[in-house]
Amino acid sequence: MTVPQHVAIIMDGNGRWAKLRGRPRIYGHIRGSSQVRPIVREAGRLGVKFLTLYCFSAENWGRPSGEISILMRLLEKYLVRERKTLMENDVRLTAIGDISSLPQHTLEALRETIALTARNNGLTLTFAVSYGARQEIIEAVRTLAQEVRSGVLHPGQINEEIFHKHLFTKTMPDPDLIIRTSGEIRLSNFLLWQSAYSELYFTEKLWPEFSIQELYLAFEEFSRRKRRFGLTEDQPQPKLLEANPPL
């Protein structure tokens, strides 16, 4: 089995999972959040280097305030409760997105866990929170425009590598595999620049049902894919953009 270097997951279907059981959506989020630990552990054990989880999109701020506050509380609880396990498993936590808009408590828990795990060398676990790919691209364009205006950059110097260095994901390679649960077949504003050559895997399983077995199925499917990056099968694979060292 080929283990992808960078796996990104759109954890979808918590609400439907709860509804099928006649329970409130919150129940699905609680179950969904307890599904994160075994997936993180197994991904690390299998040798995945980067695991990026879409926890809360920029658009999710439009959900009912009660649901938003439950999601924030679940995130905070995970960040505190899992510290020991993250340390034991050598997992480094990072975050992408407009994290400054998180409630103070959640932001503090996030910053503390990031700082605590900063020297770990195993799996890099990235939480995409208040994340939107279009917003990320606009932010990069804005910074590049300022650099051009101040004279530190010439427009002709802007290339894929320079652009990559202005994204939230500058310290990681592009995802090899993007998994979306719940049968929806779209990217929903997730890693739009970075997914140019990602393999996409969609499963009908709802996120609370996404077990280690399901992760294996996704990796098996990934192993069967032929990645050509626009070239022919006989040509050597192009050198992919490397991750930049952490700041």
Q: Whose Cβ is closer to ligand FPP: residue 190's or residue 207's? A: 207
> By beta-carbon distance, which residue lies closest to ligand FPP?
15
- Catalytic (active-site) positions: 12, 60
- Contact positions with ligand FPP (CB under 6 A) in 150-179: none
Helix pair angle (36-46, 25-34), 10° resolution: 30
Q: What does the angle CA 76 – CA 123 – CA 174 come to, to the nearest 5 degrees? A: 100
97 touches ligand FPP by CB under 6 A: no
Q: Whose Cβ is closer to ligand FPP: residue 19's or residue 225's? A: 19
13 touches ligand FPP by CB under 6 A: yes
78 touches ligand FPP by CB under 6 A: yes
33 touches ligand FPP by CB under 6 A: yes
Instruction: Please state the closest distance from residue 137 (CB atom) to ligand FPP, in A.
Output: 21
Q: Whose Cβ is closer to ligand FPP: residue 23's or residue 228's? A: 23
Report how far residue 87's alpha carbon sits from residue 81's, in angstroms, rounded to the nearest whole number: 12
Instruction: Please state the closest distance from residue 90 (CB atom) to ligand FPP, in A.
Output: 19
- Contact positions with ligand FPP (CB under 6 A) in 191-220: 207
Report how far residue 225's alpha carbon sits from residue 103's, in angstroms, rounded to the nearest whole number: 41
Instruction: Please state the closest distance from residue 199 (CB atom) to ligand FPP, in A.
Output: 22
List residues near ligand FPP by CB under 6 A: 11-16, 29, 32-33, 36, 53, 55-56, 60, 71, 74-75, 78, 182, 207
